[in-house]
């Protein structure tokens, strides 16, 4: 999987995209099935990559009817940072609490949760997320329901994963603990493709 950043040449024009949208959307939805990891009953990681970001950009251009170079470049600038760099995973982290009042209360109890999400290769040290590098999404009273996370992996972790080491992920917060151990094989295989 080639994780180079997207540029204007990689994108469909609005007219081209209208013609291929249904097919491309179908491919992306299939792809995303292997990139969503539930962590307990109210949280999930959506691992991003070149394909998920191209879809996001194409949809933004379509919705906003953006066809000028400057506008396209703005979208590329916003979404390219969410494409993994070969030694990390990037994910959208979502607290999924449908009830508005329950969500408000929970987000007040989960301050700093975005820094307590981790991945772990075999029995190596946990790699905790670097959160919200673009802008702060929390304060001392509440956290946001959506965060952007980066998980850095060292060479030893990458080599171990390629050799078949087990992958786990979880959340270690005083008010929310969850672990996926091991991470399902279809997700693990998809994430391996990000490590080139």
Read off the pLDDT of residues 130-157 as tens digits, 9 standing for 90 and up.
998 766 667 778 898 999 999 999 999 9
- What percent of the chain stands above pLDDT 90? 89
From the list 157, 110, 98, the residue with the least C-alpha distance to 169 is: 157
Sheet of 117-121, strands arranged across: 127-128, 117-121, 167-173, 176-180
Of residues 114 and 132, the one with the higher pLDDT is 114
Total of domains in the chain: 2
Domain identity same for 196 and 101: yes
Q: Which long-range contacts (CB under 8 A, 24 or more apart) does 51-54 make?
A: 51/27, 52/28, 53/6, 53/79, 53/80, 53/82, 53/83, 54/6, 54/10, 54/11
Spatial neighbors of 77 by CB under 8 A, at least 6 apart, are none
Domain identity same for 115 and 187: yes
Domain identity same for 99 and 168: yes
Read off the pLDDT of residues 154-192 as tens digits, 9 standing for 90 and up.
999 999 999 999 999 999 999 999 999 999 999 999 999
Domain identity same for 193 and 154: yes
Domain identity same for 14 and 62: yes
Indicate the pLDDT class of residue 4, thresholds 50, 70 and 90.
confident
**SS3 state of residue 82:** helix
Domain identity same for 12 and 74: yes
Dmax of the chain from CA atoms? 50
Domain identity same for 96 and 61: no
From the list 57, 40, 55, 139, the residue with the least C-alpha distance to 95 is: 40
Predicted pLDDT of residue 9: 93
Other residues' Cβ atoms within 10 Å of the Cβ of residue 26: 10
Domain identity same for 73 and 115: no
CATH of the domain at 105: 2.60.40
Domain identity same for 102 and 124: yes
- What is the extent of the structural domain holding 17? 1-33+50-83
Bridge partners, residue 176, by sequence: 173
Domain identity same for 16 and 42: no
Domain identity same for 156 and 182: yes
Domain identity same for 77 and 140: no
**Pairing label, strands 117-121, 167-173:** antiparallel
Predicted pLDDT of residue 1: 46
Report the distance separating Cα 75 and Cα 77, nearest Å.
5
Label residue 65 left, alpha or beta by phi (over 0 means left) and psi (-120 to 50 means alpha): left
pLDDT over 70 (residue 2): no
CA 68 to each of CA 12, 61, 76, 189: distance values in angstroms, whole numbers, following the listed order: 13, 10, 13, 38
């Amino acid at each position: 999987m080639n994780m180079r950043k997207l540029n204007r040449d990689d994108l469909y024009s609005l007219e081209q995209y209208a013609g291929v949208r249904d097919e491309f959307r179908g491919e992306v939805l299939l792809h995303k099935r292997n990139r969503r990891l539930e962590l307990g009953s109210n949280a999930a990681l959506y691992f991003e990559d070149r394909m998920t970001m191209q879809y996001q950009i194409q949809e933004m251009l379509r919705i906003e009817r953006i066809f000028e170079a400057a506008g396209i470049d703005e979208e590329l600038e916003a979404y390219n940072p969410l494409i993994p760099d070969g030694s990390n995973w990037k994910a959208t982290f979502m607290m999924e609490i449908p009830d508005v009042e329950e969500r408000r209360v929970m987000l007040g109890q989960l301050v700093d949760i975005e820094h307590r999400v981790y991945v772990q290769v075999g029995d190596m040290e946990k790699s905790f997320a670097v959160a919200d590098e673009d802008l702060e999404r929390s304060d001392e009273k509440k956290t946001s329901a959506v965060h952007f996370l980066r998980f850095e992996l060292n060479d030893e972790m990458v080599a171990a994963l390629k050799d078949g080491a087990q992958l786990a992920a979880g959340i270690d917060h005083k008010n929310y603990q969850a672990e996926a151990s091991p991470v399902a094989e279809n997700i693990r295989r998809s994430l391996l493709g990000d490590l080139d």
